[in-house]
Amino acid sequence: MENNIDKILSKKIFDKKNIITLLSITNDEDKKKLFDKAYNIKKKHVGNYVHLRGLLEFSNICTKNCKYCGIRSDNKKAYRYDIPDDEIKKCVLHAWENGYGSMVFQSGERKDKNFIEHLNDILIYSKKITNNEIGITLSCGEQSAETYKKWFELGAHRYLLRIETTNEDLYYKIHPKDKNHSFQERIQALKDLKNTGYQTGTGVMIGLPFQTIEDLADDLIFFKDIDIDMVGMGPYIEHKDTPLYNYKDMLMPQIERFNLTIKMIAILRIMMKDINIASSTALQAIVKNGRMQGLKAGTNVIMPNLTPTKYIENYFLYENKPCLKEYSKEYFKLLEKNIIEAGDTIQYYKWGDPIHYFKRNSI
């Protein structure tokens, strides 16, 4: 069995066995080789730039009942909210005036008419008050192809729909198996997004109960096979008010989930050289400088959370989510300093679209 790290890293294409070997490395020397390779590829193909996305969690009302999520519909302990339009406008203006290239509008999953029309309005006024200059990413779950098309026409140009796992059996261990939760519909939604013209993103959780290294290798192969433009993935962090919490004794320690995530990021950067990869907030929930470690392993997107404090405390997908006041000038200066120390530079006033998207659409 081939286990020479240098030989594997010299390959142009990794097979599943290679990926499993890289995910399994534990010694510092081999990890450094992996991370250095990934960072050098990032510098060469997308530059050592960080693109900012101002994250606004504008609603935590959700019709889904995913077994891992703190805002699942059956969690009666969750305090539900919809941020009023005047507060959303303030967040958008803050992002635009402070050089964020884009906003990310994230919510629980809903398909009702009121929700769709509300997001229509958000897109319209966000473009208007920023002179059409703000880029827009949506992360609002599964919708009809018609809804995706409408939002695209109103100015959204990126969409993140995390599949969470590409193992169908595991998918139904972390989701109910009913008409409201379908693995095949999740896959179809990703296809609909690409067909509509979105810069399309997905991602997985790392360190789930029942998950294997082989599953994670398959996840990386899936990203490449569907030719994705963006990836946001992070360590699974348990939430006590969810059914999956009953399996907490099966979990590896959180720091191991963190380390496995960093290796997943590095391997993906090597496999898909010109996509956008985000440093997730979940990295920061486990390790204080987690997002910076992500940058050094190949990520190039950071999403400072601009959700007002009185709402952010109720958007708990997992326990110990950092409630950072990332909209404050003091925190932002610290973030900028940390990014520079990590070896990267923020690209202000840029949308920071994935190069991969334009290459994919020119073929």
Question: Is residue 244 in some structural domain?
Answer: yes
CATH number at residue 238: 3.20.20.70
pTM of the model: 0.96
Within 13 A of 140's CA, how many CA atoms are on the CB side?
A: 25
pLDDT score, position 148: 98
* pLDDT value of position 1: 37
Q: Is residue 116 part of a domain?
A: no
**Paired residues of 135 in beta bridges:** 102
- Answer yes or no: is 35 within a domain: yes
pLDDT score recorded for residue 322: 63
Q: Given this model, what pLDDT does residue 3 score?
A: 57
pLDDT at 145: 98
Taken as a whole, the chain contains a residue count of 363
For the chain, what is the domain count? 1
Phi, psi values for residue 286, rounded to 5°: -100, -45
Does 261 reside within a domain?
yes
Distance CA 118, CA 125 (A): 11
Tokens found for residue 158: 């990126």
Q: Report, as ranges of residue numbers, the positions in the chain whose pLDDT lies below 70.
A: 1-3, 316-327, 363
Residue 333 inside a domain? The answer is: yes
> What pLDDT does residue 321 have?
64
Q: Which residue range(s) make up the domain with 244? A: 5-48+157-362
- Give dist(CA 131, CA 78) in Å, integer: 36
| Structure confidence at residue 2 (pLDDT) | 46
Q: Please report whether residue 199 resides in a domain.
A: yes
Query: Per the domain annotation, does 233 fall within a domain?
Result: yes
Flag whether 141 is in a domain: no
- Report yes or no: 70 and 242 within 8 Å, Cβ to Cβ: yes
CA–CA distance, 208 with 68 (Å, rounded to integer): 9
